[in-house]
Structure formats: C-alpha cells, structure tokens
Structure 1
Amino acid sequence: MTYLALAAFAAILASLGAALYFMLKGGKSDTDNAPRAGRMAKALAFRIGFSVLLFICILVGWKLGYLHPTGIPAGK
C-alpha cells in the first residue's frame, strides 16, 4: 500500500510538472496557444484524477485494515 501511495504522489507531481511545462512553453502566435492549453488542461485533469484515486485508495486501505492512523489518540 505504501508503494501505491508513493507511485500516486509521483504521478501527481509528474502531471503537475507537465502542466507547468506546457504552460511556460513559449509560442509566438495565438494559433500555438490552443494546442498547448489543451495539453496543459489534460495534464491538470490527470492530476485531479490521480489525487482522487489516491484519496479513494487511502480510504479503502483504512477500511480494510491495511492502514492504521497514528498520532495523538482522541481524548488526550
């Protein structure tokens, strides 16, 4: 489960980096901006998908008992 979470975080960061690259990539005319914006939007959509998938995997892992919350116990 730890490896899945690390892979999801890596995918989130890679997608965010790809969106940053497409956003900063220079274009000289307005016709160049449309494909770049589409690729940036697709990278950001993948990032949202990976984030939701990671959240669902953490919830499922907690419900199945694979993940245990640690930290300050309630009531102390």
Structure 2
Amino acid sequence: MSTLDQVRKDALQLSSEQQEMLTEILQNRHRENRRAEIATDAQQTLADFYTGNISASVSPRCYFSIRRC
C-alpha cells in the first residue's frame, strides 16, 4: 500500500493537466462519499424517528447544521 508521501510524490510527477484531473477525481469522490454518509445518517435518523427512539425537534442549531451540508 502506498503512503501519502509516496502518492504526493507520484502526483507531482504528473503533468499539470493530469494533476487537475486527479484533483477533480478526488474532489468528486470526496463529495460522493460525503453524500453517501449523509444519506445513511438521514435514513437512520428517520428509522429512529418512526420507531419512537427520537422526537421531532426543529431547533435553530439543528436547522443551520442541516443547511451547511
């Protein structure tokens, strides 16, 4: 398995265009992973709500937390 330092060194060997492509690929993967995490959390929260494990609450803190995502 590559270390982060090795990956960084390898990435610096790429052309500028390839570095931009790699950056876009990594950013897109990060976004996709984050969306999947959010979706999983939302599904679990809804399941907890419908089973009565949590109660409805719309506090400003909760609202603004959701809006940032």
TM-score under structure 2 length normalisation: 0.56
Count how many residue pairs are aligned between Structure 1 and Structure 2: 45
2:17 equivalent among 30, 33, 56: 30
1:68 equivalent among 34, 55, 67: 55
| Greater Rg over alpha carbons, structure | 2
1:50 equivalent among 37, 45, 48: 37
2:67 corresponds to? none
| % identical equivalent positions | 9
Q: Give the aligned CA root-mean-square deviation in angstroms.
A: 2.0
Consecutive unaligned residues of structure 1, counting only runs of 5 or more, are 1-27, 72-76
Q: Distance in 2 between matches of 1:53 and 1:70?
A: 20
Q: Distance in 2 between matches of 1:70 and 1:54?
A: 16
Structure 1 segments of 4+ aligned residues over 6 angstroms from their partners: none
Q: What amino acid sits opposite 1:31 in the alignment?
A: Q
Consecutive unaligned residues of structure 2, counting only runs of 5 or more, are 1-14, 59-69
Deviation at 1:70, TM superposition (A): 4.0
SS of residue in 2 equivalent to 1:62: helix
Superposed CA deviations along residues 13-34 of structure 1, whole A, max 9, x for unmatched, are xxxxxxxxxxxxxxx7112111
TM-score under structure 1 length normalisation: 0.51
1:14 corresponds to? none
